[in-house]
Amino acid sequence: MLKIAKYLYHNTWIGKKIIDSVFDVHHYYRSHYIDDATFLKQNFKKRFGRSLDLNHPKTLNEKINWLKLHDRTALHTTCADKFEVRKYVEETIGAKYLIPLVFQSYNPEEVISSNFPEYPFIMKANHDSSGGTIVRDKAVVDWKKMQKHFKKLLSKNYYYSGKEWQYKNIKPCVIGEKLLVNETGEIPFDYKIHCFHGKVEVIQVDIDRYTNHKRNLYDADWNLLPYTWSLWNDGKPLWDNGRDLEKPKNLNEMLNVATKLSKPFCYARIDVYDFEGTVYFGEVTFHHGSGLETIYPEKYDLALGELLDITKIKKEA
């Protein structure tokens, strides 16, 4: 039966449509009718093959899942909102770190050519982690299709995807930002800075994301770390170490930005860009990989978990 279902899914239009619908109904039931803790336990067990201990979490991935249930504040919601977070950044470190905003609307029907600049930009929803749509030439964009795309995105509550509470009460909108791109058309590296209690512990750099995706991990002194942090497939990481990278000239400023922005939180990933001599803020993430990316060797999952002290939150929860 399973072989027949796989054949129909991969080789027939109607088979794919029916099977996708079954999965959609199943996911809707799990995300809307199963309590958050059970939902997280099921996902964790499916990904790692072991039970999630929410009573005595020890590894970083366990604690990230624990934080989803217990570390919930209004500031989390503000910072998860890619539009509202701009106010927090401006108040905390200054507007100079913000990428220029070229568009914002709660109405996807306003996603039309005349509302966007002639230079390259990126469009994204403020309330999820779908990445974004890069537009280098708006003259070649199918704007009706773009409207439908964002209408669909804005209709979904991203909280139900992984039970990350901070997304639940965000008012969805579409934003557009100037695209950081140099004269040769290259986009700068996205430096994802993992901070524990306001201290930088891991700098994640994703390399060649659209060609041969690799991921390097460094400490605050730009030493390559001896582990991977990635989704896995066929018994190996999808994003293992890539080519050697030079230490960014503005590393100290990048770390200072991340430290200040992460200060109110026990754990936060602050994304920044170093573009043509200027540091720009990207976004804030509170549950990297939804707590479902493998840290290998496993001892480093435990070592990173030891850096995250949840006892204070536990007393307040």
**Is the whole model's pTM more than 0.85, yes or no?**
yes
Q: What does the pLDDT profile of the chain (317 residues) look like in tens digits?
A: 666 656 555 667 676 666 656 555 556 656 676 899 999 999 999 999 999 999 999 999 999 999 999 999 999 999 999 999 999 999 999 999 999 999 999 999 999 999 999 999 999 999 998 789 999 999 999 999 999 999 999 999 999 999 999 999 999 999 999 999 988 888 888 999 999 999 999 999 998 877 888 999 999 999 999 999 999 998 899 999 999 899 999 999 999 999 999 999 999 999 999 999 999 999 999 999 999 999 999 999 999 999 999 997 865 54
155 in a structural domain: yes
Euclidean distance between the first and the last CA atom of the chain, given in angstroms as a whole number? 47
**Cross-sheet strand order for the sheet of 278-285:** 214-218, 199-207, 190-196, 267-275, 278-285
What integer best gives the mean pLDDT of the chain?
Answer: 92
From the centroid of its chain, how far is CA 91? Answer: 23
Task: Determine the longest span between alpha carbons in the chain, in angstroms.
Answer: 59
Locate 273 and state its tokens: 């860009």
Inside any domain, residue 8? no
Confidence (pLDDT) at 172: 98
**Domain encompassing residue 102:** 98-185
Q: Do the Cβ atoms of 279 and 273 come closer than 8 Å?
A: yes
pLDDT recorded at residue 184:
87
Q: Is residue 236 assigned to a domain?
A: no
Q: Do β-strands 232-233 and 236-237 pair in parallel, antiparallel, or remain unpaired?
A: antiparallel
* Inside any domain, residue 108: yes
In-domain check, residue 20: no
Hey, which residues does 228 pair with through a beta bridge?
296
Count structural domains, the chain: 1
Phi/psi of residue 270, nearest 5 degrees: -105, 120
Question: What span, in angstroms and rounded, lies between the C-alpha atoms of 292 and 316?
Answer: 26
In a domain, 90, yes or no: no
- The answer to whether residue 91 sits within a structural domain is no
User: Is position 32 within any domain?
Assistant: no
pLDDT tens-digit readout, 79-100: 999 999 999 999 999 999 999 9
